[in-house]
A and B are shown apart, each in its own frame.
Chain A
Amino acid sequence: MAVEQEIVLTVRNLSKLYGPGCPDCLSLTGPEAGTNICPRCHTIVACNGVSFELESGEILGIVGESGSGKSTLVRCLYFDEDATSGECCFSAFGDGRANAFAQTSQARRYIRNHLLGIVYQNPLMGIKPHFTAGGNVAEKLLTADVYNVSAIRQRAAALLERTEVPLARMDDFPAHFSGGMQQRVQIAKALANNPPVLLLDEVTTGLDVSVQARVLDLIKEIQQDLGIAMLVVSHDLGVIRILADRTAVMQHGQVLEFGLTDQILEDPQHRYTQLLVHSTL
């Protein structure tokens, strides 16, 4: 027990504001206030002081209704959006204490290309429909500084096989794939650089049930085989129950409670979580 697992990602006080912002934005919004819109300056506070640690190999679930800030959180971590304030440290970057948000765009690109993978709800946000399936994976490998063509081709084939995309379709365009298969290409692409941290944003939403189950199987398998730490964002408690070891519940931009996933589901502490759990089970 004395052996501590490595913390691969530490996020401290991450906030993201859309609007002019005023000194009272953070204190006047959140679950207590019952809103994420600052009454003084009408700024939208999408994330309000979010902190957590991610351990190597663990899956952290983030649940919450639409507008709770969970997707914004993921986008800030992938640098799709600029966090307004807060810190984010990767153990594999700098000495593990450098704030990724404060880095140059070049350094952030390095983090994104080498240390992160992302799977969006909409596969077409993560992959280019008019690049071949193999080409999409290759693109991510190129950004991660793999330039040897045969190595790229081999790795792409292995990843697509891993995510159950038939190799015969490797040179076809995802534009012609089903939603479930597009999602698997996106997962293959996200894994290409073998990232220590994988961000998954509502990855099964919009897929039909049988396809959902296959994608969930795949994610669980990948976690077991590769030991990648994952942040799984979902509004679906069923997905969280199956995948996540620990879960954070978000509302109005803040984390209401953290807990073991089974504890959050069976003994929720906060009024909102109780409502959430009792409405879905």
Chain B
Amino acid sequence: MTDRREILAVRQLSKRFTLHILDGKMITGCEDVSFSLGEGEFLGITGPSGAGKSTVIKCIYRTYLSSTGSVLYTSGDGSRVDLALAPERQVIRLRRQEIGYVSQFLKVMPRVPAVDVLAGELRQKGWEIEQARQRAREYLEMMSINHKLWDAYPSTFSGGEQQRINLARALISGPRLLLLDEPTASLDIETKQIVVCVLREMKEGGASIIGIFHDLDVMERLVDRAFNMKEGSEALQPTRMERDAL
């Protein structure tokens, strides 16, 4: 760990939601969370529902505004950015170029074929349309999506297919930092195997990854290190895991 360059440092991160609709009631998402991630490292987060795992990930991706603390990201060009405070346009650029996020559910534009959902990610980076589609097809192939579905709308896909599209969409632009919120939930064994292989490939390609897992079996096959978030989300207990031999 110590010889790795740090790509992300989360320091004393807390997130509290103020619900004005409930007369300003405060709800704590996570409290005083600190950890760091080395370049090329795969970090797992486990813990019961409601422990604040997704909150941490969303604070890193800036879908949530952190209440206190910092999220220091070292960009590809070496500059350091506090994602909790960076200007929105800078965050948008980082999302396009460097940081990928896979939510638990697929959210896409209606009536856009699967191949164009993936190609769209590359178009944002300035790729030509046909080149982008070609790469998109490779990713659909890699994710074992049936050829017949390539030109269909993902909203009509099965849950497992949607989840693979979701993952492929985040992977296709080759992010340096990848945030995964239960990437293998509700997948059958075979599909899980595909996802595990793809994620390993990503990691071997140099990506740094943080993933929330319920499925500890899958996690153990992937991560270098894991920590457990406790209920009320105040305690973090890093537990080093032996990396799978493969």
Contact = CB atoms under 8 A, between A and B. Distances in A.
A1 B109 contact: no
Interface of A: 1-2, 5, 55, 58, 213-214, 216-217, 220, 224, 242, 245-246, 258-260, 262-263, 266-267, 269-271, 274-275, 278
A267 B65 CA distance: 7
Contact of B111 (A213, A259, A266): A213
A232 B189 CA distance: 44
A217 B18 CA distance: 35
B34 interface: no
B89 interface: yes
Interface string B69-92: 000000111010100000011111
B85 to A, nearest CB: 13
B201 to A, nearest CB: 26
Interface of B: 17-21, 58, 62-65, 75-77, 79, 81, 88-94, 109-112, 120, 123-124
A12 to B, nearest CB: 17
B94 A1 contact: yes
Given A259-B88, A274-B20, A278-B21, A269 B65 contact: yes
A209 to B, nearest CB: 9
B9 to A, nearest CB: 17
A142 to B, nearest CB: 32
21 contacts: A1-B79, A1-B81, A5-B89, A55-B89, A58-B92, A213-B110, A213-B111, A217-B111, A246-B88, A258-B88, A260-B63, A260-B88, A260-B92, A263-B62, A263-B63, A263-B64, A263-B65, A266-B63, A267-B64, A271-B21, A275-B20
Contacts of A263: 62-65
Nearest to A209: B110
A1 B88 contact: no
Name, among B64, B110, B124, the residue most crowded by chain A CB atoms within 10 Å (CB to CB): B110
A264 to B, nearest CB: 10
B93 A1 contact: yes
A216 B65 contact: no
Given A5-B89, A246-B92, A259-B65, 20 more contacts: A1-B75, A1-B81, A1-B90, A2-B77, A2-B79, A5-B93, A214-B111, A217-B109, A217-B111, A217-B112, A224-B120, A246-B88, A246-B89, A260-B62, A260-B92, A263-B62, A263-B63, A267-B64, A271-B20, A274-B21
Nearest to A267: B64
Contacts of B63: 260, 262-263, 266-267
A173 to B, nearest CB: 29
